[in-house]
């Protein structure tokens, strides 16, 4: 029974499956359109944001970690001192997402009835910072200090053998908060996964207030009024950032191969590596010729694909489906939204192309380290 459960979890955590589940579930949990909202209501996904949902989900997470703690393989990963933050992360991210969504639902209902959001108070009815805020800060500070001291006494900071440049541990992992980037390295070259995507992350986050023209939902928790924005943020944050961190910490073992959480990290696990670039697909597999010597000719299809995705697609969208959006947002905002949005969604796209079609790169010019 327990073994079946562990095998099921191992199977479900395979990146292809777990990532797909999350990709399908996120738009239902944070429905950006009426259609998704209907599914949410129909299957009761909104129950996750109720108090019962909180208790049930917390219990499920705890049960999972208890089973993991008692399993000899998962125990090794789980009890590494530097992996403890991930456990805290899983709890706190769920709890605070729950808190925000729970409050948002309450406010959505109030707003529908024509009431003010629950945060609203008479602007003349203010409280004094001394003592009303100062004592809250003081208590928060003391509680957090107690937490840190207790944790420091109980859990020693990790210290492995002295640094040895001659012996590379397998796997070598970046600090936990960068494991999402390390995971992207599987699908993208380092210049994209390590440089371009992080820069787009930071600049994209900074650009949010300038791209979001929705004036509603300022200063209180709400969902309905901002559902598209919240969905995009949650997809990027939970699926493309936090989930990849969990994946990189718990499910990646020697040679960065996938291992289920309850699976033994066998360094000799053999995983077929046979990804093929788009140019090879076209010239070798489709036309049955060798690769042309001229790099531009060899990779012309890749350039067309990438160029088409980044530059032609926004144009086509602007003329067709997103016509109204272009008008509402103006040209600059629209272009920015398209660039950040398309780059962000290129990550899951690339992941699926790797999984489904074994595609290594669209453009593969290793001569100039230029692989996309």
Partner 1 sequence: MADKKNKSILKTMGESQIWKSIIRSGVPRTRRQRMHAVLGSVFLHLHPARLPKHAVKLGYTWCMGGLSFFLFVNLTITGILLMFYYRPTVEYAYTDIIDLTEQVPLGIMRELHRWAAHSMVLVVWLHMLRVFMTGSYKPPREFNWGVGVLLMTMTMFLSFTGYLLPWDQLAIWAVTVGSNMARAHPFIGHEGPGASLLAIGDINLVHIGSDVRFALIGGRFVGEATLLRFYVIHCIAVPFIMMIFMAVHFWRIRKDGGISGPL
Instruction: Report yes or no: 198 and 87 within 8 Å, Cβ to Cβ.
Output: no
Site stretch for partner 1 (CB under 8 A), options 8-16, 40-48, 69-77, 118-126: 118-126
Residues in 232-251 at the binding interface with partner 1, rule: CB under 8 A? 233, 237
Site stretch for partner 1 (CB under 8 A), options 167-175, 282-290, 329-337, 341-349: 167-175
328 binds partner 1 (CB under 8 A): no
Instruction: Report yes or no: 151 and 160 within 8 Å, Cβ to Cβ.
Output: no
Please enumerate in sequence order all residues whose Cβ is within 8 A of that of 267, keeping only pairs 6 or more positions apart, or say none.
170, 253, 254, 255
Measured CA to CA, the distance from residue 264 to residue 286 in angstroms comes to: 40
Please enumerate in sequence order all residues whose Cβ is within 8 A of that of 341, keeping only pairs 6 or more positions apart, or say none.
232
- Nearest approach in angstroms of CB 367 to partner 1 is 8
Site stretch for partner 1 (CB under 8 A), options 5-13, 32-40, 98-106, 263-271: 98-106
- Nearest approach in angstroms of CB 316 to partner 1 is 27
Measured CA to CA, the distance from residue 272 to residue 143 in angstroms comes to: 50
Residues in 277-316 at the binding interface with partner 1, rule: CB under 8 A? none
Measured CA to CA, the distance from residue 190 to residue 353 in angstroms comes to: 18
Instruction: Report yes or no: 246 and 13 within 8 Å, Cβ to Cβ.
Output: no
Residue 250, token pair as written in the block: 């718990």
120 binds partner 1 (CB under 8 A): yes
Site stretch for partner 1 (CB under 8 A), options 21-29, 136-144, 260-268, 299-307: 136-144
Task: Determine the 3-state secondary structure of 2 from DSSP.
Answer: helix
349 binds partner 1 (CB under 8 A): no
Nearer of residues 88 and 312 to partner 1, judged by Cβ: 88
- Specify the DSSP element, H or E, that contains 223: none
Candidate residues 117, 254, 341, 348; the one interacting with partner 1 per rule CB under 8 A: 117
Site stretch for partner 1 (CB under 8 A), options 21-29, 87-95, 328-336, 342-350: 87-95
Nearer of residues 123 and 288 to partner 1, judged by Cβ: 123
Nearer of residues 202 and 297 to partner 1, judged by Cβ: 202
């Amino acid at each position: 029974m327990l073994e079946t459960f562990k095998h099921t979890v191992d199977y479900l955590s395979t990146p292809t499956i777990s990532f797909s589940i999350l990709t399908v579930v996120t738009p239902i949990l944070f429905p950006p359109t009426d259609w998704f909202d209907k599914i949410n209501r129909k299957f009761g996904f909104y129950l996750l944001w109720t108090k019962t949902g909180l208790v049930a989900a917390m219990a499920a997470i705890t049960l999972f970690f208890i089973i993991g703690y008692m399993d000899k393989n998962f125990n090794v990963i789980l009890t590494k001192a530097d992996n403890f933050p991930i456990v805290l992360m899983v709890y706190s991210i769920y709890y605070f997402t729950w808190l925000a969504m729970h409050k948002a639902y309450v406010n959505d209902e109030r707003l529908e009835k024509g009431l003010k959001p629950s945060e609203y108070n008479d602007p003349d009815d203010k409280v004094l910072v001394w003592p009303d805020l100062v004592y809250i800060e003081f208590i928060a500070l003391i509680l957090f200090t107690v937490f840190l001291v207790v944790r420091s006494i109980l859990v020693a900071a990790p210290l492995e053998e002295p640094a040895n440049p001659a012996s590379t541990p397998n796997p070598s992992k970046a600090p936990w908060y960068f494991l999402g980037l390390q995971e992207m390295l599987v699908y993208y070259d380092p210049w994209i996964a390590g440089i371009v995507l992080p820069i787009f992350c930071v600049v994209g986050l900074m650009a949010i207030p300038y791209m979001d023209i929705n004036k509603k939902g300022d200063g209180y928790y709400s969902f309905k009024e901002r559902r598209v924005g919240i969905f995009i943020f949650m997809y990027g944050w939970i699926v493309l950032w936090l989930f990849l961190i969990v994946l990189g910490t718990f499910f990646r073992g020697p040679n960065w191969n996938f291992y289920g959480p309850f699976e033994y990290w066998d360094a000799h696990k053999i995983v077929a590596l046979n990804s093929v670039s788009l140019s090879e697909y076209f010239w070798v597999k489709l036309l049955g010729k060798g690769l042309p010597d001229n790099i531009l000719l060899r990779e012309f299809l890749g350039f067309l694909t990438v160029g088409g995705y980044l530059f032609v697609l926004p144009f086509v969208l602007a003329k067709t489906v997103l016509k109204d959006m272009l008008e509402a947002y103006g040209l600059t905002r629209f272009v920015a939204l398209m660039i950040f949005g398309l780059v962000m969604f290129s990550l899951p796209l690339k992941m699926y192309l790797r999984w489904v079609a074994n595609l290594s790169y669209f453009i593969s010019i290793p001569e100039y380290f230029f692989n996309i």
